[in-house]
Amino acid sequence: MNTLPNNILTPSITMPEWLMEIEQAYLGKQMLGDETKLLFAIELAKENVCHETGGPFGAAIFDIRTDELVAVGVNSVVPANQSWAHAEMTAFSHAQARLETYDLKGCLLATSCEPCSMCFGATPWSGVEKLIYGAEGSSARRVGFDEGDKVTDWQNALEQRGIRVVGPLLKEKAEEPFELYRSMSGVVY
């Protein structure tokens, strides 16, 4: 057990080196269309599995006006020992740090899978104006992931809060990270 002074909280994670290389290569570059952005998030999920740096989930934040990449995130729960380190949460945190604001107004989230209950809850607070997702939550549950309790009409709940929701898109492609993770016997929590 790590012994830290009682007054130190360290809710930070180190993103994988391969991810930072991809982000640097695409940072500020335009990705036109919802499917292009979503394919990028799905590829992040697959790379995360291939590099064995976390679960089969990837996310990216884009500027709505320019279609430019702002930040990326992948699931890092197991390697970071942080239950909050889902792809959407790491993407939100990374984008907020980069933009030096807690409010991601003017941004969209592209995520390889429908948000779990935690990420669904964090989405309005992040300030994003649009959410694009690939696989349905049932895909994550089939592998064994606990997606938590979420309102059935979650898309409408976000729409009511001014967040446009698009998905599921590219469902077959979005299933690939899960199939790969299962074949590699990844940790399910």
Nearest to 16 by CA among 91, 83, 74: 74
Of these residues, 21, 43, 88, 159, which one is catalytic? 88
Q: In what order do the strands lie in the sheet with 164-166?
A: 69-74, 58-63, 107-113, 130-135, 164-166
| 88 counts as catalytic | yes
User: Using a CB cutoff of 8 Å and minimum separation of 24, what contacts does 153-160 make?
Assistant: 154/115, 154/120, 158/120, 158/123, 158/124, 158/131
Length of the chain: 189
3-state secondary structure of 74: strand
Only one residue has tokens 């991810």, namely 19
Any idea which residue has 């899960």 for tokens?
Answer: 178
| Pairwise CA distance, residues 166 & 12, whole Å | 30
CB proximity list for 138: less than 8 A, separation 6 or greater:
none
Write out the catalytic residue numbers: 88
